[in-house]
């Protein structure tokens, strides 16, 4: 079972928190999925977050083949339509025998997460957005 760092857990929980209103209160969203690779290899267990200019972020986690699907809120796939800043993070976490976190280290270059250079525009409908990352 993959555990999240506190910051990514918070981002993910915010993304899953539903609004109190119905679909009419939700902004236009587009379904977003894709594949994340690093130096040509799939990246598994990475958190992919799309943060619009205004509004809630959407987040998803890559599977063993690097595929992700964004969730806007519980049971709702997608991201807010429009320009988004994208962050992709994968942490190498070490735990003690009792399951306590000893250390956590980001394994992807900062230009994809803390100092992200990634931006995408989500369109209405289906969006396939792949990320071809490099170590350098």
Specify if 54 maps to a domain: yes
- Looking at residue 25, its pLDDT comes to 72
For residue 100, the domain's CATH number is 2.60.40.10
- Looking at residue 13, its pLDDT comes to 46
Residue with tokens 């209405």: 124
Specify if 30 maps to a domain: yes
- pLDDT digits over 28-51, tens only? 999 999 999 999 999 999 999 999
Specify if 23 maps to a domain: yes
| pTM for the whole structure | 0.78
Q: How many domains does the chain have?
A: 1
Specify if 111 maps to a domain: yes
Q: Shortest CA distance to 56 belongs to which of 33, 74, 68?
A: 74
Domain that holds residue 52: 6-133
- Looking at residue 136, its pLDDT comes to 84
Angstrom distance (rounded) from CA 2 to CA 76: 22
Specify if 1 maps to a domain: no
Specify if 117 maps to a domain: yes
Instruction: Count Cβ atoms within 10 A of the Cβ of residue 112 and give its class: 0-12 exposed, 13-18 middle, 19 or more buried.
Output: buried
- pLDDT digits over 50-106, tens only? 999 999 999 999 999 999 999 999 999 999 999 999 999 999 888 888 888 888 899
């Amino acid at each position: 079972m993959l555990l999240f760092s506190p910051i990514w857990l918070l981002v993910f929980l915010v993304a899953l928190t539903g609004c109190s209103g119905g679909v009419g209160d939700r902004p236009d969203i587009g379904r977003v999925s894709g594949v994340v690779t690093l130096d040509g290899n799939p990246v598994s267990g990475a958190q992919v977050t799309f943060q619009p200019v205004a509004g809630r972020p959407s987040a998803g986690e890559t599977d063993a083949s690097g595929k992700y699907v964004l969730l806007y809120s519980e049971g709702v796939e997608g991201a807010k339509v429009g320009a988004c800043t994208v962050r992709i993070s994968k942490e190498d976490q070490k735990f003690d025998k009792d399951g306590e976190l000893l250390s956590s280290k980001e394994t992807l270059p900062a230009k994809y997460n803390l100092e992200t250079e990634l931006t995408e525009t989500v369109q209405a409908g289906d969006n396939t957005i792949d990320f071809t990352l490099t170590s350098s």
